[in-house]
Amino acid sequence: MATKSKTPKHPVDIEGLTGDAAIAVALRQCDVDVVSAYPITPQTIIVEDFQKFAANGETHTKVIPVESEHSALSACIGASAVGARVATTTASAGFALMWEVLYCAASMRMPIVLAVANRALSAPINIHNDWSDSYGGRDSGFIQVYCQSCQEAYDTTIMAFRVAEDRQVLLPIMVCIDGFILSHNVERVEMLPDETVKKFVGVREPFQNLDPDNPITLGPLCLTDYYFEFKEQEDRAIRAVPEVYKRVEAEYEKLTGRSYGLLEKYKTDDAEIIIFTHSSPAGTAKAVTDVLREKGEKVGVLRLKMFRPFPTDAVREAVKNAKAVVVFEKCMSFGAPCNPLALELRTALYEAERRPLVADFVIGLGGRDVPPETIVQGIEKTKDYLKKGKAPMYETLGVRK
């Protein structure tokens, strides 16, 4: 989990909180100016809890109860353009509805925090967890981070504002948690005092905002002679994120003793088989790893936290000595050579001197349970592929076929 370096300095509050509740608390503490959000299962509790805080004056925030997710993110852009600190949250179909606006938010360099309670996309309509919603926004220019625990969700939401609003970055950020599995399950969360968080996030310093004393034009028409240059700028901005994130997290670690990095290495140093995944399957994979290690098997888990920008070098480095990397991912990219997470990994490894065998397992679509047996099954199959020297591009596990 989080690397514990030392005991935190400040008094903390410890409560059992669901992922949704933890994010709502973090938002409350971050002095958000405007929240405009539309409820959708399983993110509804974030919106409800936050609105309750606002109604009781526990946060000085204008809450805009918009009539759709497309409007939710649009209102965030308007508010962010004035210089306000803004946040919103969504999932699944709501995320899909705001897809157009994701690109606008990123290209207009609006530091909006978007919490996503990962849920499957229709059709058929399904309210349970998989990653097809946020993976669908992976090209949008948003920073994307995935959390395994409610504690991490709380910590990451707070850090998100600092990363997004950093002058080197100025990009919106998606903080993702598994719908229901994390959003609705109670875990132990250590919270910082309000004053500490407020001081940590500070006040947002607007940059090129809508200001009657300095009238500028935001969002003009850009034709073939300029559009590309703005995309170049965006590319440079997202590449600046890892350094900024590390800096912000180092500061946060001083307050809490916790840090996560861009990815987490769990018993990977001498691992022959490394599991590559994120969010809740990472937790299951760690439990499986512990059992297998007792049996003498050299297994480990590489838990990805930052998906965008993808930490190519760090991933390459972490798996270089493994014989095989087993990808478990909750998303299918229909018609692709393999699925999104494995695609990223294989591309990252293409230039590596030594390339471990990569096996891609699609699991848990539509909230299909991922018990330890599924992880074990994937590992067993991978051992088989190692013997054969070849793995299929991808396969599905846990489906009746």
- Closer residue to other proteins, CB minimum distance, 36 or 183: 36
Q: Is 224 in the site for other proteins (CB under 8 A)?
A: no
Q: Which of 110, 128, 109, 111 is nearest to 119 (CA)?
A: 128
Q: How far is the CB of 133 from other proteins (least distance, A)?
A: 20
Question: Which structure tokens are listed for 347?
Answer: 């591309």
Q: Which of residues 111-130 bind other proteins (CB under 8 A)?
A: none
Q: How far apart are CA 344 and CA 337, in angstroms?
A: 11
C-beta neighbour count of 148 within 10 angstroms: 24
Q: How far is the CB of 86 from other proteins (least distance, A)?
A: 7
Q: Is 203 in the site for other proteins (CB under 8 A)?
A: yes
Q: How many residues of this chain interact with other proteins, rule: CB under 8 A?
A: 57
| Residue span binding other proteins (CB under 8 A) among the ranges 28-36, 157-165, 316-324, 340-348 | 28-36
Among 221, 350, 387, 388, binds other proteins (CB under 8 A): 221
Edge-to-edge order in the sheet of strand 357-362: 263-266, 299-304, 273-277, 324-329, 357-362, 395-396
Residue given tokens 């940059």 in the structure block? 207
C-beta neighbour count of 167 within 10 angstroms: 10
Q: Which of residues 39-98 bind other proteins (CB under 8 A)?
A: 60-62, 64-68, 70-72, 74-84, 86
**To 5 degrees, how large is the angle CA 315–CA 321–CA 323?**
100
User: Strand 357-362 vs strand 187-191: parallel, antiparallel, or unpaired?
Assistant: unpaired
Q: How far is the CB of 88 from other proteins (least distance, A)?
A: 10
Among 11, 123, 225, 388, binds other proteins (CB under 8 A): 225
- Closer residue to other proteins, CB minimum distance, 188 or 207: 207
Q: Which of 395, 394, 392, 389 is nearest to 323 (CA)?
A: 389
Q: Is 240 in the site for other proteins (CB under 8 A)?
A: no
Q: Which of 89, 18, 87 is nearest to 59 (CA)?
A: 87
At 328 the three-state DSSP class reads strand
At 79 the three-state DSSP class reads helix
- Reduce the secondary structure of 174-191 to three states and give it as a string: EEEEECCCCCCCCEEEEE
What DSSP character marks residue 211? B
- Per-residue x/- marks for other proteins, 259-278, CB under 8 A? --------------------
Q: How far is the CB of 234 from other proteins (least distance, A)?
A: 8
Q: Is 14 in the site for other proteins (CB under 8 A)?
A: no
- Per-residue x/- marks for other proteins, 164-193, CB under 8 A? ------x-----------------------
- Per-residue x/- marks for other proteins, 292-331, CB under 8 A? ----------------------------------------
- Binding residues for other proteins, rule: CB under 8 A, are 33-34, 36, 60-62, 64-68, 70-72, 74-84, 86, 100-101, 104, 107-109, 170, 203, 208, 210-223, 225-226, 229-230, 232-233, 236-237
